[in-house]
Amino acid sequence: MREAKKNISAEYLERLNASPYFIVVEYQGLKVDQFANLRERLDGAKAELHVVKNRIFNIAAKEAGVEADLAGDLKGQVAVVTGESEISAAAKIVKNFESEFEKPSIKFGYMGATRLEAAEVKVIADLPPLETLRGKILGVLQAPAQKLAVLLNTPASQLAQVIKAKSEKG
With bands split at pLDDT 50, 70 and 90, how would you rate the model's confidence at 81? very high
Which tens digits make up the pLDDT trace of 20-55? Answer: 989 999 988 888 999 899 999 999 889 999 988 888
The arithmetic mean of pLDDT across residues 126-142, rounded, is 77
Map out the domains of the chain as residue ranges.
3-127, 129-170
The arithmetic mean of pLDDT across residues 10-19, rounded, is 82
Name the CATH superfamily housing domain 3-127.
Answer: Ribosomal protein L10, N-terminal RNA-binding domain (3.30.70.1730)
- Residue of higher predicted confidence among 48 and 170: 48
Residue 61's nearest CA partner among 82, 39, 87 is: 82
Mutual angle of helices 3-18 and 54-63, in 10-degree steps: 50
Rounded percentage of the chain residues whose pLDDT exceeds 90: 15
